[in-house]
Amino acid sequence: GAGVSQSPSNKVTEKGKDVELRCDPISGHTALYWYRQSLGQGLEFLIYFQGNSAPDKSGLPSDRFSAERTGGSVSTLTIQRTQQEDSAVYLCASILRGEQYFGPGTRLTVT
């Protein structure tokens, strides 16, 4: 069946602009993570959605970052007033029985 999809696959933006990254999880998966992966770094936890519970936002690096999940399915990660240090690959993963299924990621470049 279809896996996790993310869009866009690549995004180049100017410093100071806002960006929206989208994640379509696997149907029926109730939990979803967003991670950030910088060159040579592990996956940095950003935010976690589980069902109808309040999301765990403890990994968001600043108040410029926000995320929402509509209808328990599609999630969007928004970065306002982008900075060059936001350049990274943003990955989402949906979870079933403890196993994380990752999307291909969005490569964000802030110039």
Q: Which residues contact 52 (CB under 8 A, 6 or more apart)?
A: 72
Distance CA 85, CA 93 (A): 22
- Rounded (10°) CA dihedral 18, 63, 24, 41: 100
Quote the least distance from Cβ 42 to another protein, whole Å.
4
Q: Pick out residues in 75-104 that bind another protein (CB under 8 A).
A: 91, 93, 98-104
Q: Are 23 and 105 in contact (CB under 8 A)?
A: no
- The window from 14-22, 42-50, 67-75, 77-85 that contacts another protein (CB under 8 A) reads 42-50
Kindly tell me which residue out of 7, 22, 43, 73 binds another protein, with binding defined by CB under 8 A: 43
Query: Residue numbers of the site for another protein (CB under 8 A)?
Result: 4, 33, 35, 40-43, 45, 48, 56, 59, 91, 93, 98-105, 107
